Amino acid sequence: DLRMSRGLGDVYKRQIVVYKKGEDKPYLTTDCRVSNLPKGDALYLEKGIEIKGKESLMKTLEDYCS
């Protein structure tokens, strides 16, 4: 299981970062800035989104980063 959330280690850029469930080290760091998203989406991401499978992850990232 994967979890998308705001990058905690990149305070200045606030990128979307993906973590594997139960791990603190990022699985994937994107170039997508949370500050470029609508406020509602940014708040939703701040809480974290549970995603199952790489295909769902890629679709979700495409939605947020395009």
Q: How many residues are recorded in the chain? A: 66
Position 39 scores a pLDDT of 86
Task: Judge if pTM exceeds 0.75.
Answer: no
Tell me if 23 sits within 8 A of 56, measured CB to CB.
no
Tell me if 18 sits within 8 A of 57, measured CB to CB.
yes
Tell me if 29 sits within 8 A of 17, measured CB to CB.
yes
Read off the pLDDT band of 3 (50, 70, 90): low
- Write out pLDDT tens, residues 6-57: 443 333 357 888 888 788 888 888 888 888 888 888 888 877 888 888 898 8
